[in-house]
């Protein structure tokens, strides 16, 4: 659709009726009913055009308008929904977007009047104006088109859609190639509900001016004051998602950088549109520097959650960034090959606590944020997942949220006599033999042996998935290196990670043995209960070495294979960030790795929620 400035209101409404069903990420009716009831859209004419320091909460002199005023505004159009304010600042050449005008207590609004600014990607960082803004309202939805242009250049239109909630959608029209969202962003997050989220920090790329991200339909921008978060989603394929970085100021007379390197904009090129929401609350995210003094101590974080939710952070385990949920209380956890340790993130009342040690060391920073609500999250609080559920649809929503792929499972047979873990079962059997009751409790002994066999069978089946995956990944990387020799350093680095999965599996074989050996142990364990003999307890102890050796090896292998696969999943994207040509390969690697990581067992990764 080209510019429609100058058309009559009747023609524009006719065009709107045709356009409405096709707009990207239209809200399902259920979402509109649930989140829109009782909240009207409000349209304003600022009467005089907004200036650089405009504050959209100061409405003196504004007048409320209807869609009949389209094309006849004296100032700029402002559209207010429940949770969103968008100001079409004609002289600034931007659409300023912020959260609800009813801000939480303690939050100051930015002088620019918005937490984010939208413009065509072609005009990012350039002088521009909005030549005309045309809008119409029908059935609780407002469509507005802004015609952006640089001085003396052609119009670059973007169509906007507003319902009654906090989500807007924006779609490039005509010759507009993409959309840029400018905002003072400290960190960008690509959420992943299988594996770990990607957290992009500009300081990790000191010489880069831009970063290329995998296009996975979902992106968060954590704003610099720790009080705001941008949530962007897109339904159709987006060929390019790019972060534009700032350079830290150089301190006069020192030549040294001053201030934090930031993300100043996110550019979406080549897609058909996106959805955007602004979430804000005091401390909606937090950055905590992890000091050496945190080691082997319970440390209270200098932050408190603004509301109950599933709060997450990433810390290093096995030198790989690993996601931890803040638990409701201090908990112990067993990890194969590591042992028992306190889960590192937990709440003591309203205090957020970190318990770091040798297994989870205090290295780098802990970024604390949330993606989804908990049972106690107030109904009026939206989470990034809420935004994704309402703005994505069909197979894309299913793939992004991947509810089926997330749960961990416990490898225990449904009718278990004792349990699953070989060492725990052997402890229970040891008590029976200590009491000399093995003959009377033959069925219990048999059940315990069958429990251990089942446990090992499912562990073997799960562990065996990683080996062919890694073999196929090495072959894929080799083929890509041959086809794209300019990417050889990138591909070789990832090949080394995939090979670690193969090496780990090969090194575990001697201790892991096989299921034939497990069935020998099963038969010998059951046979011990057939007759009470003086040496039965010692013979059980001899068998325990075999059982626990197999179980421990399988559990450690699960953890290590999962760790290396998650490392590959992360590094494929992080290492491609400075080379856009590598991003399509990174996306393919992550797609394949995600399939392997889906539905992890409880030894690969604990259930975070």
Q: What is the pLDDT of residue 419?
A: 85
**Residue whose entry in the numeric block shows the structure tokens 């931890």:** 324
Separation of alpha carbons 134 and 132, rounded Å: 7
pLDDT in tens, 371-385: 999 999 999 999 999
Q: What is the pLDDT of residue 39?
A: 58
Are the C-beta atoms of 184 and 224 separated by less than 8 Å? Answer: yes
Q: At what angle do helices 422-434 and 442-463 cross, to 10 degrees?
A: 170
Higher pLDDT, 30 or 48: 48
pLDDT in tens, 69-109: 888 999 999 999 988 999 999 999 999 999 865 543 333 44
Global pTM reads 0.90
What are the structural domain ranges in the chain?
A: 9-280, 286-380, 422-597
Average pLDDT of 127-146? 94
First to last CA, the chain: 45
Least confident of 27-41, 163-177, 414-428, 574-588: 27-41
Residue 12 has pLDDT above 60, yes or no: no
Are the C-beta atoms of 477 and 469 separated by less than 8 Å? Answer: no
* Angle in degrees, CA 379, 380, 381, rounded to 5: 90
Separation of alpha carbons 401 and 386, rounded Å: 11
Separation of alpha carbons 91 and 98, rounded Å: 18
| Cβ-based neighbour number of residue 419 at 10 Å | 18
Indicate the DSSP class of residue 601: B
Separation of alpha carbons 378 and 367, rounded Å: 23
Residues 6+ apart with CB under 8 A from 205: 211, 245, 577, 578
Least confident of 213-217, 229-233, 249-253, 257-261: 249-253
Q: What is the pLDDT of residue 34?
A: 44
Separation of alpha carbons 472 and 44, rounded Å: 58
| Cβ-based neighbour number of residue 424 at 10 Å | 17
Q: At what angle do helices 488-512 and 536-574 cross, to 10 degrees?
A: 170
Residue 260 has pLDDT above 90, yes or no: no
Separation of alpha carbons 351 and 379, rounded Å: 23
Residues 6+ apart with CB under 8 A from 30: none
pLDDT in tens, 140-178: 899 999 999 998 899 999 999 999 889 999 999 999 999
If phi > 0 it is left, if psi is from -120 to 50 it is alpha, else beta; for residue 120 that is: beta
Separation of alpha carbons 543 and 525, rounded Å: 7
CA atoms within 13 A on the CB side of 555: 23
| Cβ-based neighbour number of residue 483 at 10 Å | 9
β-strand partners of 312: 325, 369
pLDDT in tens, 488-519: 999 999 999 999 999 999 998 888 899 999 99
pLDDT in tens, 42-65: 999 999 999 865 566 677 889 999
Residue 409 has pLDDT above 90, yes or no: no
Instruction: Report H helices in 435-487.
Output: 442-463, 466-483
If phi > 0 it is left, if psi is from -120 to 50 it is alpha, else beta; for residue 345 that is: beta
């Amino acid at each position: 659709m080209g510019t429609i400035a100058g058309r009559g209101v009747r023609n524009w409404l006719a065009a709107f009726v045709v356009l409405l069903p096709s707009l990207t990420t239209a809200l399902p009716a259920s979402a509109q009913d649930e989140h829109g009831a009782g909240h009207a859209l409000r349209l304003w004419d600022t009467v005089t055009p907004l200036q650089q320091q405009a504050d959209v909460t100061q409405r003196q002199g504004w007048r409320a308008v209807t869609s009949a005023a389209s094309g006849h505004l004296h100032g700029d159009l402002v559209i207010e929904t429940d949770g969103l304010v968008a100001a079409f600042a004609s002289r600034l050449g931007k659409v300023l977007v912020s959260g609800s005008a009813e801000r939480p207590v303690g939050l100051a609004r930015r002088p620019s009047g918005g937490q984010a600014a939208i413009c065509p990607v072609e005009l990012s960082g350039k002088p521009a104006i909005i030549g005309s803004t045309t809008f119409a309202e029908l059935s609780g939805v407002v469509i507005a088109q802004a015609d952006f242009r640089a001085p003396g250049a052609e119009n670059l239109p973007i169509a906007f859609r507003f319902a009654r909630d906090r989500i807007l959608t924006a779609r490039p029209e005509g010759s507009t190639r993409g959309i840029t969202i400018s905002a003072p962003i400290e960190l960008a997050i690509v959420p992943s509900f299988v594996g770990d989220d990607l957290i992009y920090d500009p300081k990790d790329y000191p010489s880069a001016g831009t970063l290329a991200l995998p296009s996975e339909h979902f992106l968060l921008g954590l704003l610099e004051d720790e009080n705001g978060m941008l949530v962007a989603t897109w339904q159709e394929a987006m060929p390019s998602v790019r972060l534009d970085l700032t350079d830290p100021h150089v301190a006069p007379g020192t030549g040294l950088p001053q201030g934090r390197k930031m993300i100043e904009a996110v550019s979406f090129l080549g897609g058909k549109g996106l959805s955007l929401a602004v979430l804000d609350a005091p401390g909606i995210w937090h950055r905590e520097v992890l000091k050496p003094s945190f080691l082997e101590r319970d440390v209270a974080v200098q932050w408190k959650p603004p509301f109950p939710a599933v709060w997450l952070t990433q810390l290093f385990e096995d030198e790989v960034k690993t996601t931890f949920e803040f638990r409701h209380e201090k908990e112990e956890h067993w990890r194969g090959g590591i042992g028992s340790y306190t889960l590192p993130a937990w709440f003591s009342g309203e205090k957020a606590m970190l318990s770091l040690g040798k297994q989870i060391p205090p290295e780098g920073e802990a970024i604390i944020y949330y993606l989804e609500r908990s049972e106690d999250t107030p109904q009026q609080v939206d989470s990034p997942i809420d935004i994704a559920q309402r703005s994505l649809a069909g197979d894309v929503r299913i793939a992004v949220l991947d509810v089926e792929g997330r749960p961990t499972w416990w490898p225990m047979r449904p009718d278990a006599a004792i349990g699953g873990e070989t060492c725990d079962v052997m402890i229970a059997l040891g008590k029976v033999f200590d009491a000399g009751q093995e003959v009377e409790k033959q069925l219990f002994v048999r059940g315990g042996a069958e429990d251990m066999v089942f446990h090992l069978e499912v562990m073997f089946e799960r562990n065996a998935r990683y080996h062919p995956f890694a073999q196929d990944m090495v072959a894929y990387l080799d083929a890509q290196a041959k086809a794209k020799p300019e990417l050889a350093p990138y591909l070789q680095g990832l090949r080394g990670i995939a090979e670690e999965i193969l090496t780990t599996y090969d090194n575990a074989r001697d201790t892991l043995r096989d299921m034939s050996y497990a069935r020998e142990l099963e038969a010998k364990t059951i046979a011990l209960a057939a007759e009470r003999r003086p040496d039965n307890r010692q013979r059980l102890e001899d068998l325990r070495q075999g059982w626990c050796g197999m179980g421990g090896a399988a559990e450690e292998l699960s953890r290590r294979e999962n760790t290396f696969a998650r490392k590959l999943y992360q590094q494929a994207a992080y290492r491609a960030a400075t080379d856009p040509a590598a991003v399509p390969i990174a996306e393919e690697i992550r797609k394949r790795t995600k399939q392997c990581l889906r539905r992890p067992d409880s030894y690969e990764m604990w259930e975070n929620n």
